[in-house]
Structure 1
Amino acid sequence: MTTVIRGQGTSEEVRQKLADEGKPVLLAFSCGKDSIATWLALEDAGVAVVPCYMYCVPGLKFVENDLAYFEDQFGQKIHRYPHPSLYRWINNAVYQPPERVQVIEAARMPDPTYAQLWDLIREDLGLPKEIWCADGVRAADSIQRRGAFVRYGYWRKNKKKVSPIGDWLKGETLDRIKEAGIDLPIDYKWFGRSFDGIDKRFTEVIKREAPEDYEQIISWFPLAEGDLVR
């Protein structure tokens, strides 16, 4: 049973409209339950999905294992790109020692917004600029998200973003994943959610469960180790 978003119709109508357009849809794929269910729901509606994963830290083995599993389950490649947060953390010297700051400032790396990065992804993949980007945002996640759906609906036309399962409840989301015979990634066992940060919530577990990946994180953000001892 789905939730009701006042004045906005249903996500089934959204998915049908996307199918009627007959164009592929980009998917912001995080390996989380909502993005998995969104992929399944779009495929159910006959929509061609182009999944893209944005990594916070390059080269983490457990992340690559996650992605390889989902590529096998869905039978297609998941494109990898740097997350906007990676640029932001580096540019703001997050967890960086003093000797790196001068190099970071001299590099003057870009600081792209999500919208800018998705436009670059469209260009890199040879997709038209008008192609929609789907996310797994659901109104039932929080009062704030429900309010946003009531106000703006499923479509954010100025950002070319769409939420194809916006009215699904958590149970409906998990049921569709179970029905497909797909397992949630190791992230849920380790963190209770998908991996998306470099603070203690994540690094404490990664240091214990995947020490090589922890060392990779520390090579990029050396002072993150201090988060574990303070």
Structure 2
Amino acid sequence: MPTVIKGQPTSAEVLERLKAQNDPVILCFSCGKDSIATWIALEEAGIDFTPVYLWYVPHLSFVDDELEYFERKLGKKIHAYPHPSFYRWLNSLVAQAPERIRVIEAAKLPEPTYEQLWDLVREDLNLPNAWLADGVRAADSIVRRASFVRNGVMKGRSRKVSPIADWLKGEVYDAIERRGIELPIDYEIWGRSFDGLDYRFIAPMRDKLPDDFARLKEWFPLIEADIVRNEGTVWG
């Protein structure tokens, strides 16, 4: 049975409203299980949408492979843009060698907010006023449930919508199995989608995806320092 979110429409009702409004919809697609389930829910409700992926580091091969798989399996082009964290990490000089600092500071890279980034995506895709659909679910945490009760499942002002807000984890996996989709390698390595540069992500990447770890070090050359801090290993 789906989660009951006090004062909010069910996911079935949200999908009906989106379909009736016939406004453009952008799916914030992370390759994670909840965003996959949201894709399926929109598709099965007959709602047209444009999937968008925000990358954290350009052209990690496992990410490129995942996007190619989902495009082929689900039959839609996935548009990729830089995640705001990419600019923030560079501007904050995360894991940067001293000789790079002056270059990065001179570049004066932009640091868009999420809102600014999604406005730029809407503009680039020529989808003004598009809803931003995500896979956030109330059952994930008390905080998320409280946020839905307070702010709503469909937020007209920000144009954000959570089409599977009341789904349980079992419903998510049922939808993925029903569509015959394989979860990405992220779940085998990290148990979740890749989304950070901390030890939890980079140590397994070094061991399981050495080519992508080398690519990561091209952008963040001292990233291995976090492994040394956590493992006490010799840096080399």
TM-score range, shorter chain: over 0.9
Count, aligned residues: 229
Matches within 5 A, 1:86-101: 86-101=86-101
Once residues 12 and 113 of structure 1 are traced to their aligned partners in structure 2, the CA distance between those partners, rounded to angstroms, is: 31
Instruction: Supply the AA of the counterpart residue of 1:181.
Output: G
Unmatched tracts of structure 1, length 5 or more: none
Once residues 136 and 125 of structure 1 are traced to their aligned partners in structure 2, the CA distance between those partners, rounded to angstroms, is: 21
Is the aligned partner of 1:36 residue 2:67?
A: no
Deviation at 1:24, TM superposition (A): 2.8
Q: Deviations over 1:56-92 (max 9, x none)?
A: 0001000111111100111111001000100111111
Q: Report what 2:232 is aligned to.
A: none
Deviates more, 1:79-88 or 1:153-162: 153-162
Q: Report what 2:24 is aligned to.
A: 24
Once residues 28 and 5 of structure 1 are traced to their aligned partners in structure 2, the CA distance between those partners, rounded to angstroms, is: 22
Deviates more, 1:58-67 or 1:155-164: 155-164
Is the aligned partner of 1:134 residue 2:133?
A: yes
Once residues 181 and 86 of structure 1 are traced to their aligned partners in structure 2, the CA distance between those partners, rounded to angstroms, is: 32
Is the aligned partner of 1:223 residue 2:222?
A: yes
Deviation at 1:155, TM superposition (A): 1.8
TM-score (normalizing by structure 2): 0.95
Once residues 94 and 15 of structure 2 are traced to their aligned partners in structure 1, the CA distance between those partners, rounded to angstroms, is: 39
Matches within 5 A, 1:157-168: 157-168=156-167
Secondary structure of residue in 1 paired with 2:26: strand
Q: Report what 2:81 is aligned to.
A: 81
**4+ long deviations beyond 3 Å:** none
1:198, 1:217 within 8 Å by CA — same for their partners in 2?
no
Q: Report what 2:12 is aligned to.
A: 12
Q: Report what 1:60 is aligned to.
A: 60
Once residues 76 and 166 of structure 1 are traced to their aligned partners in structure 2, the CA distance between those partners, rounded to angstroms, is: 23
Deviation at 1:205, TM superposition (A): 1.1
Q: Report what 1:170 is aligned to.
A: 169
> Identity of paired residues, percent?
59
Once residues 76 and 27 of structure 1 are traced to their aligned partners in structure 2, the CA distance between those partners, rounded to angstroms, is: 11
2:9, 2:153 within 8 Å by CA — same for their partners in 1?
no
TM-score (normalizing by structure 1): 0.97
Once residues 32 and 182 of structure 1 are traced to their aligned partners in structure 2, the CA distance between those partners, rounded to angstroms, is: 12
Deviates more, 1:106-115 or 1:27-36: 106-115
Once residues 75 and 150 of structure 1 are traced to their aligned partners in structure 2, the CA distance between those partners, rounded to angstroms, is: 34
Report the RMSD for the aligned CA atoms in angstroms: 0.9
Deviation at 1:200, TM superposition (A): 1.3
Once residues 144 and 74 of structure 2 are traced to their aligned partners in structure 1, the CA distance between those partners, rounded to angstroms, is: 29
Deviation at 1:159, TM superposition (A): 2.0
